[in-house]
A and B are shown apart, each in its own frame.
Chain A
Amino acid sequence: MNSKYILAMCFLVILSSCNTSPNKVTNVSDYNDYLELAENKNLMDAEKEYAFWTAKTEEAHNPYSYSSQIAHAYASMFAATGKIDYLKLAEENLIQLNESKNHESSGAMKSLAANYISQHKFKEALQLLNKAEMNGDNLKGTQKMLFDVHLELGNYKMAKAYLAKFENMSDFDYLIRLAKWSDHIGNLDAAITYLEKAKTVAESSNMKGIKQWSYTNLADFYGHAGRIDDSYAHYLMALELDPNDAYAKKGIAWIVYSHEKNPDEALRILNSVMRDYHAPDYYLLKSEIHEFKGDMAAKDEQLALYIEAVKNKAYGDMYNQYNVLLYTQENQNLKEAIAISKSEIENRPTPHSYDLLAWSYFKNGQLEEALNLTRNHVLGFTSEPLALYHSAEILKASGYLDEVKGLKPDLMDSTYELGPLMAEKVSQL
Chain B
Amino acid sequence: MKFNNIKIAAIAVLISLTAYNCSNDDDSKEPSGPDFSGNYIQEDQMARPAINTVFVSMGQKDAFNVTVPSNQGAAYQSSFESRLLALNPGYTTNALGMDAATFTGALATDVLTVSLDGTTTFFDGTNVLTGRALADDVIDVELLLIFGGPMGTDNGPVTSDHVDANDKPFLSSFPYLAAPHM
Known contacts A17-B22, A136-B59, A137-B58, A10 near B34 by CB under 8 Å: no
B32 partner residues in chain A, CB cutoff 8 A: 196-197, 200
Complex interface: chain A residues within 8 A of B58 (CB)? 106, 135-137
**Pair A18/B22 contact, Cβ less than 8 Å:** yes
**Stretch of B7-15, B68-76, B169-177 that contacts chain A:** B7-15
**CA gap between A106 and B59 in the complex, in Å:** 11
CB-CB < 8 A to A106: which residues of B?
58
Are A138 and B62 in touch, CB under 8 angstroms? yes
Main secondary structure of the interface of A (DSSP, over half): helix
Decide: A137 and B34 in contact? CB cutoff 8 A.
no
Question: Is B181 a contact of A52 with CB atoms below 8 Å?
Answer: yes
In the bound complex, residues from chain B placing their C-beta under 8 Å from that of A14 are 14, 17-18, 21
Q: How many A-B residue pairs have CB under 8 A?
A: 70
Which residue in chain B gives the minimum CB-CB distance to A205? Answer: B34
Partner of B28, one of A13, A137, A193: A193
B11 pairs with A6, CB closer than 8 A: yes
A197 touches B21 (CB 8 A): no
The answer to whether B11 and A10 have CB atoms under 8 Å apart is: yes
Q: Judge if A23 is at the interface, Cβ distance under 8 Å.
A: no
Does A137 lie within 8 Å of B22, measured CB to CB? Answer: no
Contact between B14 and A17 (Cβ–Cβ < 8 Å)? no
Residue-wise interface mask of B (56-68) relative to A, using a CB-CB cutoff of 8 A (1 in contact, 0 not): 0011111000000
Chain A interface (Cβ < 8 Å from any Cβ of B): 3, 6-7, 10-11, 13-14, 17-18, 48, 52, 56, 61, 106, 135-140, 169-170, 193-194, 196-197, 200-201, 204, 227, 230
Q: Please name 8 further chain A to chain B contacts, defined as beta carbons within 8 Å, in addition to the given A136-B62, A193-B30, sorted by A numbering.
A: A3-B7, A13-B18, A135-B58, A137-B61, A137-B62, A140-B62, A169-B34, A201-B34
Those 5 A-B pairs whose CB atoms lie nearest each other, nearest first = A136-B59, A137-B61, A10-B14, A135-B58, A137-B58
Subset of 11 A-B contacts with CB under 8 Å: A3-B10, A6-B10, A7-B14, A13-B14, A17-B22, A18-B22, A136-B59, A138-B62, A140-B62, A196-B25, A200-B34
